[in-house]
Every structure is written in C-alpha cells, then in structure tokens.
C-alpha cells in the first residue's frame, strides 16, 4: 500500500507534523501529492516554496523514495508531487500473480468485528427501487471491509412490531371483508393478493399480522437474492421485546439518571434542555427506544462497531440514537450512521415517484426483470450516498459503450478472448488454477527484461491503475466513498479498451507477446476483483 507507506515514511522524517497525502486530479501531475510545505511554512515562519524545495532535496537523496518514484517535484503554491518510476510500475505487477486473489487485501481492519445493517425496510410492502440503493451500497461496503481485514456481519433488521405493522394487518383484514380502506392504510395490489390468499386459507384474527410479516420477509429475501445480496442475519425487532432487552435497556437508562417523566411519557434527556420520547403515554415504546436496545444487543454480541445505512428521512434520528447509546455508557464512535438520498426512476422523459401506502409502487422485482441486477447495482454505486440520483432505465438496458456496465463487462470479455486466441496457454487447462500456483508466471517469463518491454503510454497507464488498486481498497474501507470503486473500474476498463484498440497482444514477437499477456492477465484479475466486490458478473463472452 504505497499511500500508507508514503505517509509513514514522511512522518518519520517530519514527526509531529499533520499533513495529507492526496491524489492529484491528473496522472501527469503525479501519483501522490502532499501539502507538507504549507504545514512547515506556517510552523517555521517561512514560505511554502522554501520548505517545498527542502522536502524535494531530502527525498531525492533517499534511496527508498527514488526506488519508487521517478519524479519528486515542488509545485506552486505549496505541494510536493510524487510520480511512480516506470521500473517500479513494471515490477509491481508481479504482486498480482504472487498473492493471486488476495491482491489488494489489507490488514487495517485488524480483525475488528463490524455489524453492517442496511435496507431494513418495514415489512409492510414489497421492496422498491428506493431500497436498491442501500442494498447495492451496503453489500459492496461489506465486501470492501472484509478485503480490508474486518470481520463483517451483514444484517437486515425486521421492524415486525409497531403502528405500521398494525396498519398492515388492518389493511388486509378490511380487504378480506371487502370493506373500504381509509387513506392512512395500505392500498397496494399486494394487499389484495395477500387478503385473497388469507381468505382462501382461512387465516383470521391475530394470525393475520404474523402471517403477513412472514410473507413480506420471504418476499424481501427473494428480492435480495435476485439482486445478489445475502445477509448473515435477519434480526426481528420482536425478539428484543420477547427477550426483555428493550425493558432492560430502558431501566438501565433510568437508573443512570437519563430519563425524565412528563405528561405521562418517559423522555431521554439529551444535551442542554433537549429531550426525546422513549415510552409514550400509552405505554408503547418508540422506534428510538427499540433502536437503543437493538444497538446495545449488537455490542453485546461482540461487535466492535455498528454501521447503519438509513434513508435521509431519518437524519433527525441520528443524534437521538447516538445520545441514547452514549447514555448507556458506550463510545458514540462505535456507532456510525450513513444516510442515503432519495432515488428517482426515469423512463424516457417520465419520472416516477414511490409510495408504499398509496400503492404507487415501482417494485424492485420489476426493475430486476427489466434491466438485471448488474445494471441496478452499478448505477446505484456510481453516485455518492449524499447525492440525489435518477436511475435511467433506458440507459441501463443499452448494449453500447454509453452504458458503463456494458462497457466494463465488454472489457472483461475482450480480455478473456485474448487468452482463448493465445497459443501460449493450454485451453484444456485451468488457467486460474495455474495463476494461483505461479505456473503462468513461469510459462510467460515474468522477468525484468520481459517487463521492460512495456513502454507504451497505454501500457504504463494500465500498470499505474493496477499499482493503485490496493491503495483504493484501504481508502474506501476508511472513508466509505464506494462510488470511487465504480469510477476506478470504469477507468480501468476504458484504459484497457484504449490499449487494446491501439496495440496487438497476440503477435509474432514472443517476448513482447509474453509481456502483453502478463499485463492483460493482471488487468483481467484486478477487473474481476472489482466486479466481485460490486457484486457484478464477469462474462467471458458478450
């Protein structure tokens, strides 16, 4: 991990100096940039230019730096830029074959146990397109955290108690009796279907809610499976009430002096004069009280950290839950809550809104059948969680380079075709198996004199992309900016297409052919890893 190495080495030379290692917007400026000159100038009362030149001279005299970087330059107004040497790039490609599927793995997680909860939609209706954003993001984040050395438990919280569940049961009961449903109840076609099934089966009374929740959860599991998302735990909220954990969590808050009673309700005291309801005047618990008990349950199960992915409409609940968790005595930093913005589905010029209660649903299952899981997952991964987005259905169905999913998968298919045409590889053998055991590297002579033949601009660009992949994994495991993985994958595919269209791989000259096969296989392996992290398929034919 070059970025981490660079940060560590510079810190050894300049201890007690806070600086950032940045990635310039253009490779031509360098591969990494540090703002250390600004920091030292402020500390020493000098100019950034003066400090920057000293930094450059120091590191140009350090063999560890010059072995990795062919260029170390000061750039106004105060940055020092580092650019990989071509020899270092060519040598780095060996790591892809040395560690195989573990290329890009990191140990920064140090085995820390993380509970990653996402989607967790109320089981009051089928999953919609809006739920796909959290599903795509959460599943990919979990994959990245695992690759970075964390132990991750992916979890779906089933809100199977409360007002909305009661409304679900009432909606079905009224529909079974052919009675009118008020505007506050669920109106969707799925309510009619469940009511008919329950009528035919003779489901009545208190069993309606339990059976309805069971159906909704099974539908959710099926939809998530179709999207390629699997959860380690489907955790029902009712379990917290039946076990007495909600009551115990409230009593602990009260015993620590964090609860006040006003107007018949019990409130959690927060900072200043702020407070929020835990138990209503009718004795029922709020979502907040249940979430506090749920978070406590996660920590008691041995998770070091809990990450929740919620919709933006829950932004007001974030400080309340953190206050409750802190009141129980836990470090608030052990709980992270990520919010995702709303989704709009666009079909040509028509924009569709989503509403469960009005029955105005855009079902995720319907979109899956129309465009497939790969397009859904990738499109949602291309934008930062904090941005609103439109999902363009027509673009998702296109089979052209305008569709980024098609463009990326076409790159993988092209890479696969190279090896089918190659006479070096035995088509009857398991190439991937030989790659893991190193046989491929022996056959294709991964030696400096062979790799030195990779000199073209397009070849060096691919080498640079590959070398930076491990840094990307660590970066995403720390900042959760998963859209950077989607962009990296698209850039890698684009750089390969440019290489492929300008340079032949299967050529007469054996040494250059071997060098380009090594490069192509390295790109194929990294591209496959990116696709796997995002939960996308890697077709060998298109």
pLDDT digits (tens, 9 = 90+) for 429-457: 444 433 333 344 444 457 888 999 999 99
Segment 107-124 mean pLDDT: 96
Judge contact between 125 and 188, C-beta under 8 A: yes
Cα(509)–Cα(517) distance, rounded to whole angstroms?
Answer: 12
Conformation bin of residue 74: beta by default, left when phi > 0, alpha when psi is -120 to 50? beta
**With bands split at pLDDT 50, 70 and 90, how would you rate the model's confidence at 423?**
low
Predicted pLDDT at 273? 86
Mean pLDDT taken over the chain: 92
Cα(322)–Cα(288) distance, rounded to whole angstroms?
Answer: 10
Predicted pLDDT at 441? 44
Class of the CATH domain delimited by 2-84:
alpha beta
**With bands split at pLDDT 50, 70 and 90, how would you rate the model's confidence at 398?**
very high
User: To which H or E segment does residue 265 belong?
Assistant: strand 265-269
Same fold, 2-84 and 400-534: no
Instruction: Give me the DSSP letters along 181-195.
Output: PPTTS---HHHHHHH
- The angle subtended at Cα 94 by Cα 91 and Cα 100, nearest 5°, is 155
| pLDDT surpasses 60 at 353 | no
Residue for token pair 């409304």? 167
Predicted pLDDT at 359? 45
Query: Between helices 510-534 and 129-147, what is the axis angle to 10°?
Result: 120
Q: Give pLDDT tens digits for 368-377.
A: 999 999 999 9
Q: Give pLDDT tens digits for 458-474.
A: 999 999 999 999 999 99
Q: Give pLDDT tens digits for 474-527.
A: 999 999 999 999 999 999 999 999 999 999 999 889 899 999 999 999 999 999
Cα(187)–Cα(181) distance, rounded to whole angstroms?
Answer: 7
Asked which of 12-26, 46-60, 108-122, 322-336 is least confident by mean pLDDT, the reply is 12-26
Q: Break the chain into its structural domains and give their ranges.
A: 2-84, 400-534
Q: State pTM to two decimals.
A: 0.92
Cα(168)–Cα(189) distance, rounded to whole angstroms?
Answer: 13
CATH for 400-534, options being 3.40.50.410, 1.10.730.10, 1.10.3720.10, 2.60.120.560 = 1.10.730.10
SS (H, E, C) 349-384: CEEECCECCCCECCEHHHHHHHHCHHHHHHHHHCCC
Predicted pLDDT at 421? 80
Predicted pLDDT at 447? 83
Q: Give pLDDT tens digits for 162-192.
A: 999 999 999 999 999 999 888 899 988 899 9
């Amino acid at each position: 991990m070059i970025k981490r190495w660079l940060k560590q080495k510079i810190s050894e030379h300049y201890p007690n100096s806070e600086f950032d290692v940045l990635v310039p917007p253009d490779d031509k400026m360098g591969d990494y940039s540090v703002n250390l000159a600004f920091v030292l100038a402020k500390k020493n009362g000098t100019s950034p230019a003066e400090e920057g030149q000293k930094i450059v001279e120091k590191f140009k005299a350090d063999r560890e730096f010059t072995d990795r970087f062919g260029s170390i330059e000061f750039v106004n107004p105060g940055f020092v830029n580092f650019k990989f040497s071509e020899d270092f790039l060519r040598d780095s490609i060996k790591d892809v074959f040395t560690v195989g599927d573990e290329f890009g793995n990191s140990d920064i997680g140090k085995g820390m146990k993380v509970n990653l909860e996402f989607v967790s939609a109320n089981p009051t209706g089928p999953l919609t397109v809006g739920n796909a954003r959290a599903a795509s993001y959460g599943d990919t984040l979990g994959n990245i955290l695992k690759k970075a050395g964390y132990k991750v438990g992916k979890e779906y919280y089933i809100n199977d108690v409360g007002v909305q569940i009661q409304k679900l049961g009432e909606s079905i009961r009224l529909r079974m009796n052919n009675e009118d449903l008020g505007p506050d109840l669920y109106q969707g076609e799925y309510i009619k279907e469940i009511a008919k099934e329950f009528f035919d089966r003779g489901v009545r009374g208190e069993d309606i809610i339990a059976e309805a929740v069971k159906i909704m959860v099974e539908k959710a599991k099926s939809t998530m499976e179709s999207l390629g998302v699997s959860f380690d735990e489907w955790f029902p909220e009712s379990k917290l009430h039946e076990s007495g954990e909600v009551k115990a969590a409230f009593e602990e808050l009260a015993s620590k002096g964090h609860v006040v009673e006003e107007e018949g309700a019990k409130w959690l005291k927060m900072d200043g004069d702020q407070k929020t309801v835990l138990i209503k005047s009718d004795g029922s618990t709020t979502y907040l009280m249940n979430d506090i008990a749920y978070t406590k349950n996660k920590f008691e199960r041995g998770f070091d950290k809990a990450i929740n992915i919620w919709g933006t409409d829950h932004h007001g609940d974030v400080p309340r839950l953190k206050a409750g968790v802190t009141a129980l005595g836990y470090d608030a930093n052990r709980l992270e809550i990520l919010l995702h913005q709303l989704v709009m589905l666009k079909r040509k010029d028509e924009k569709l809104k989503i509403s469960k209660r009005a029955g105005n649903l855009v079902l995720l299952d319907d979109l899956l059948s129309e465009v497939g899981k790969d397009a859904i997952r990738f499109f949602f991964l291309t934008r930062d969680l904090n941005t609103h987005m439109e999902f363009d259905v027509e673009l998702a169905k296109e089979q052209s380079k305008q569709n980024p999913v098609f463009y990326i998968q076409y790159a993988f298919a092209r890479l696969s075709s190279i090896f089918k045409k190659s006479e070096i590889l035995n088509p009857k053998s398991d190439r991937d198996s030989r790659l893991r055991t190193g046989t491929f590297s022996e056959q294709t002579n991964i030696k400096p004199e062979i790799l030195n033949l990779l000199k073209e601009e397009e070849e060096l660009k691919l080498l640079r992309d590959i070398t930076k992949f491990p840094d990307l994994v660590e970066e995403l495991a720390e900042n959760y900016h998963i859209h950077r993985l989607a962009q990296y994958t698209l850039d890698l595919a684009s750089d390969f297409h440019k290489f492929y269209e300008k340079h032949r791989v299967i050529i007469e000259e054996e040494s250059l052919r071997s060098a380009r096969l090594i490069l192509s296989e390295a790109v194929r392996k990294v591209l496959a890893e990116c696709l796997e992290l995002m939960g996308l398929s890697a077709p060998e034919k298109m």
